[in-house]
Amino acid sequence: MKLTFLVVAATTLSFSPAVAVAAPHPAPQHRASLRLSDGAGDTWTYSDTTVGYTPAPQPAADVLSARIHHGRYAVTTRMLFANLTRESTQWYRCEIHVAGLTHWYIVEAAEGHWRGIAYEEVQGEWVRAPGVTHKIDYAAETFTLRVPRRLLGDPAWVRVRLHNDLGIGDGTFFTDNPMSAGHKPLYTPRIPAR
Ligand SMILES: [Ca+2]
Protein backbone atom coordinates (compact mmCIF):
# COMPACT_ATOMS: atom_id res chain seq x y z
CA MET A 1 0.00 0.00 0.00
CA LYS A 2 1.52 3.21 -1.08
CA LEU A 3 -0.70 5.85 0.43
CA THR A 4 -1.48 6.00 4.11
CA PHE A 5 -3.57 8.57 5.88
CA LEU A 6 -2.35 8.94 9.42
CA VAL A 7 -4.82 11.66 10.17
CA VAL A 8 -7.89 12.00 8.06
CA ALA A 9 -10.81 14.28 7.53
CA ALA A 10 -12.89 11.48 8.89
CA THR A 11 -16.36 12.66 8.05
CA THR A 12 -15.51 13.56 4.48
CA LEU A 13 -13.31 10.63 3.51
CA SER A 14 -14.31 9.54 0.05
CA PHE A 15 -10.98 8.51 -1.39
CA SER A 16 -10.15 5.36 -3.29
CA PRO A 17 -11.32 2.21 -1.52
CA ALA A 18 -7.71 1.02 -1.85
CA VAL A 19 -6.61 3.65 0.65
CA ALA A 20 -5.66 2.34 4.06
CA VAL A 21 -6.85 4.45 6.95
CA ALA A 22 -4.27 4.09 9.69
CA ALA A 23 -6.05 5.21 12.82
CA PRO A 24 -4.90 3.40 15.95
CA HIS A 25 -7.58 5.17 17.94
CA PRO A 26 -11.06 6.30 16.91
CA ALA A 27 -10.57 8.70 14.03
CA PRO A 28 -10.77 12.34 15.11
CA GLN A 29 -13.45 14.38 13.43
CA HIS A 30 -12.78 17.16 10.97
CA ARG A 31 -9.01 17.17 11.26
CA ALA A 32 -7.38 19.73 9.03
CA SER A 33 -4.17 17.84 8.33
CA LEU A 34 -3.24 14.88 6.22
CA ARG A 35 0.00 12.96 6.35
CA LEU A 36 0.84 10.84 3.35
CA SER A 37 3.57 8.27 2.95
CA ASP A 38 5.06 7.17 -0.34
CA GLY A 39 7.40 4.42 -1.46
CA ALA A 40 11.09 4.86 -2.23
CA GLY A 41 12.44 4.17 -5.70
CA ASP A 42 9.00 4.37 -7.31
CA THR A 43 9.49 7.29 -9.69
CA TRP A 44 8.37 7.25 -13.30
CA THR A 45 10.11 8.50 -16.42
CA TYR A 46 8.65 9.95 -19.60
CA SER A 47 10.08 11.91 -22.50
CA ASP A 48 9.37 14.18 -25.40
CA THR A 49 9.96 11.35 -27.85
CA THR A 50 8.24 8.38 -26.24
CA VAL A 51 4.70 7.52 -25.25
CA GLY A 52 3.63 6.78 -21.71
CA TYR A 53 5.38 6.37 -18.40
CA THR A 54 7.96 3.77 -17.31
CA PRO A 55 9.15 2.99 -13.78
CA ALA A 56 12.69 4.33 -13.27
CA PRO A 57 14.44 5.25 -9.99
CA GLN A 58 15.38 8.91 -9.65
CA PRO A 59 16.07 10.01 -6.04
CA ALA A 60 15.90 13.72 -6.88
CA ALA A 61 12.25 13.36 -7.87
CA ASP A 62 11.34 10.63 -5.39
CA VAL A 63 8.75 11.76 -2.83
CA LEU A 64 8.87 9.81 0.44
CA SER A 65 6.15 11.55 2.41
CA ALA A 66 4.00 14.63 2.49
CA ARG A 67 1.90 16.70 4.80
CA ILE A 68 -1.03 18.94 3.97
CA HIS A 69 -2.46 21.33 6.53
CA HIS A 70 -5.50 23.56 6.10
CA GLY A 71 -5.03 26.11 8.84
CA ARG A 72 -6.92 29.18 9.89
CA TYR A 73 -4.88 31.44 7.62
CA ALA A 74 -3.27 29.24 5.00
CA VAL A 75 -2.99 25.93 3.26
CA THR A 76 0.51 24.60 3.82
CA THR A 77 1.97 21.62 2.00
CA ARG A 78 5.27 19.86 2.45
CA MET A 79 6.92 17.08 0.53
CA LEU A 80 9.96 15.10 1.71
CA PHE A 81 12.23 13.79 -1.05
CA ALA A 82 14.89 11.09 -1.16
CA ASN A 83 17.66 13.40 -2.42
CA LEU A 84 17.00 16.85 -3.82
CA THR A 85 19.79 18.22 -6.01
CA ARG A 86 20.76 21.44 -7.76
CA GLU A 87 21.43 19.69 -11.05
CA SER A 88 18.24 19.59 -13.06
CA THR A 89 15.16 21.68 -13.60
CA GLN A 90 12.44 20.74 -11.16
CA TRP A 91 8.82 21.74 -11.02
CA TYR A 92 7.03 21.34 -7.72
CA ARG A 93 3.31 21.32 -8.29
CA CYS A 94 0.41 21.90 -5.95
CA GLU A 95 -3.18 22.05 -7.09
CA ILE A 96 -5.77 23.27 -4.63
CA HIS A 97 -9.37 22.62 -5.51
CA VAL A 98 -12.10 24.67 -3.84
CA ALA A 99 -15.80 24.70 -4.64
CA GLY A 100 -16.08 25.28 -8.37
CA LEU A 101 -12.47 26.26 -8.95
CA THR A 102 -8.93 24.85 -8.98
CA HIS A 103 -5.81 26.91 -8.28
CA TRP A 104 -2.69 25.58 -10.01
CA TYR A 105 0.64 26.46 -8.38
CA ILE A 106 4.06 25.64 -9.76
CA VAL A 107 7.44 26.38 -8.24
CA GLU A 108 10.26 26.10 -10.72
CA ALA A 109 13.86 25.55 -9.57
CA ALA A 110 16.69 25.60 -12.09
CA GLU A 111 20.16 26.99 -12.73
CA GLY A 112 20.15 30.59 -11.56
CA HIS A 113 17.16 30.21 -9.24
CA TRP A 114 17.66 27.13 -7.12
CA ARG A 115 15.49 28.68 -4.41
CA GLY A 116 12.60 28.40 -6.83
CA ILE A 117 10.12 30.85 -8.30
CA ALA A 118 6.42 30.47 -7.54
CA TYR A 119 3.84 30.80 -10.27
CA GLU A 120 0.12 30.28 -10.59
CA GLU A 121 -1.08 28.84 -13.84
CA VAL A 122 -3.98 30.93 -15.08
CA GLN A 123 -5.62 29.92 -18.36
CA GLY A 124 -2.41 28.25 -19.50
CA GLU A 125 -0.15 31.16 -18.58
CA TRP A 126 2.32 31.13 -15.72
CA VAL A 127 2.00 34.31 -13.68
CA ARG A 128 3.95 35.20 -10.58
CA ALA A 129 2.13 34.38 -7.38
CA PRO A 130 2.62 37.16 -4.83
CA GLY A 131 1.58 36.13 -1.34
CA VAL A 132 2.45 32.50 -2.00
CA THR A 133 5.61 31.53 -0.15
CA HIS A 134 7.79 28.47 -0.51
CA LYS A 135 11.07 26.96 0.58
CA ILE A 136 13.25 24.33 -1.02
CA ASP A 137 15.58 22.91 1.62
CA TYR A 138 18.23 20.87 -0.19
CA ALA A 139 19.78 19.71 3.10
CA ALA A 140 16.53 18.60 4.70
CA GLU A 141 15.22 17.30 1.32
CA THR A 142 11.97 19.18 1.72
CA PHE A 143 9.77 21.43 -0.35
CA THR A 144 7.21 23.59 1.43
CA LEU A 145 4.49 25.77 -0.07
CA ARG A 146 2.16 28.11 1.80
CA VAL A 147 -0.92 29.59 0.14
CA PRO A 148 -2.89 32.14 2.19
CA ARG A 149 -6.57 31.25 2.42
CA ARG A 150 -7.53 34.72 1.26
CA LEU A 151 -6.01 33.91 -2.14
CA LEU A 152 -8.31 30.91 -2.32
CA GLY A 153 -11.44 32.85 -1.37
CA ASP A 154 -11.43 31.68 2.27
CA PRO A 155 -12.85 28.28 1.36
CA ALA A 156 -14.67 26.02 3.81
CA TRP A 157 -12.65 23.08 2.50
CA VAL A 158 -9.92 22.29 0.01
CA ARG A 159 -8.88 19.23 -1.95
CA VAL A 160 -5.17 19.11 -2.70
CA ARG A 161 -2.94 17.32 -5.19
CA LEU A 162 0.86 17.31 -4.98
CA HIS A 163 3.39 16.06 -7.50
CA ASN A 164 6.71 17.00 -9.07
CA ASP A 165 8.51 16.72 -12.36
CA LEU A 166 12.27 16.73 -12.94
CA GLY A 167 13.78 17.48 -16.34
CA ILE A 168 17.36 16.35 -16.91
CA GLY A 169 17.85 18.42 -20.04
CA ASP A 170 17.65 15.97 -22.91
CA GLY A 171 13.88 15.78 -23.14
CA THR A 172 13.77 13.14 -20.41
CA PHE A 173 11.67 13.73 -17.33
CA PHE A 174 10.93 11.98 -14.05
CA THR A 175 7.86 12.31 -11.89
CA ASP A 176 6.51 11.14 -8.57
CA ASN A 177 3.70 12.03 -6.21
CA PRO A 178 2.51 11.09 -2.73
CA MET A 179 -1.11 10.88 -3.84
CA SER A 180 -1.27 7.54 -5.69
CA ALA A 181 0.74 4.46 -6.58
CA GLY A 182 0.84 5.49 -10.22
CA HIS A 183 2.26 8.42 -12.14
CA LYS A 184 -1.02 10.30 -12.02
CA PRO A 185 -1.69 12.05 -8.70
CA LEU A 186 -5.14 11.97 -7.14
CA TYR A 187 -6.82 14.65 -5.08
CA THR A 188 -7.28 14.28 -1.35
CA PRO A 189 -10.74 14.21 0.14
CA ARG A 190 -12.07 17.54 1.36
CA ILE A 191 -9.91 19.01 4.10
CA PRO A 192 -11.86 21.50 6.22
CA ALA A 193 -10.27 24.63 7.61
CA ARG A 194 -9.03 24.74 11.17
CA1 LIG B 1 8.26 7.90 -3.98
Taking all residues of the chain, what is their mean pLDDT, rounded to a whole number? Answer: 88
Question: Could you tell me the distance, in angstroms and rounded to a whole number, from the CA of residue 150 to the centre of ligand 1?
Answer: 32
CB 43 within 8 A of CB 175: yes
Q: Is residue 26 part of a domain?
A: no
pLDDT band at 11 (very low <50, low <70, confident <90, very high): very low
**Once rounded to an integer, what is the mean pLDDT over residues 146-161?**
98
pLDDT band at 96 (very low <50, low <70, confident <90, very high): very high
Give the environment of ion ligand 1: residues with CB less than 5 A.
38, 42, 62-63, 176
Question: Could you tell me the distance, in angstroms and rounded to a whole number, from the CA of residue 60 to the centre of ligand 1?
Answer: 10
Q: Is residue 13 part of a domain?
A: no
pLDDT band at 31 (very low <50, low <70, confident <90, very high): confident
Q: Is residue 173 part of a domain?
A: yes
| CB atoms inside a 10 Å sphere around CB 178 | 27
- pTM value is 0.85
pLDDT, greater one: 147 or 19: 147
| Domain total of the chain | 1
pLDDT band at 51 (very low <50, low <70, confident <90, very high): very high
Q: Is residue 125 part of a domain?
A: yes
Question: Could you tell me the distance, in angstroms and rounded to a whole number, from the CA of residue 27 to the centre of ligand 1?
Answer: 26
Residue 7 CA from chain centroid, whole number? 17
Q: How far apart are CA 111 and CA 104, in angstroms?
A: 23
Question: Could you tell me the distance, in angstroms and rounded to a whole number, from the CA of residue 146 to the centre of ligand 1?
Answer: 22
Question: Could you tell me the distance, in angstroms and rounded to a whole number, from the CA of residue 168 to the centre of ligand 1?
Answer: 18
- 103: domain CATH number is 2.60.40
For residue 54, what pLDDT is reported?
97
For residue 23, what pLDDT is reported?
43
Question: Could you tell me the distance, in angstroms and rounded to a whole number, from the CA of residue 93 to the centre of ligand 1?
Answer: 15
Domain around 110: 39-192
For residue 30, what pLDDT is reported?
56
Question: Could you tell me the distance, in angstroms and rounded to a whole number, from the CA of residue 181 to the centre of ligand 1?
Answer: 9
Q: Is residue 23 part of a domain?
A: no
**Once rounded to an integer, what is the mean pLDDT over residues 158-178?**
97
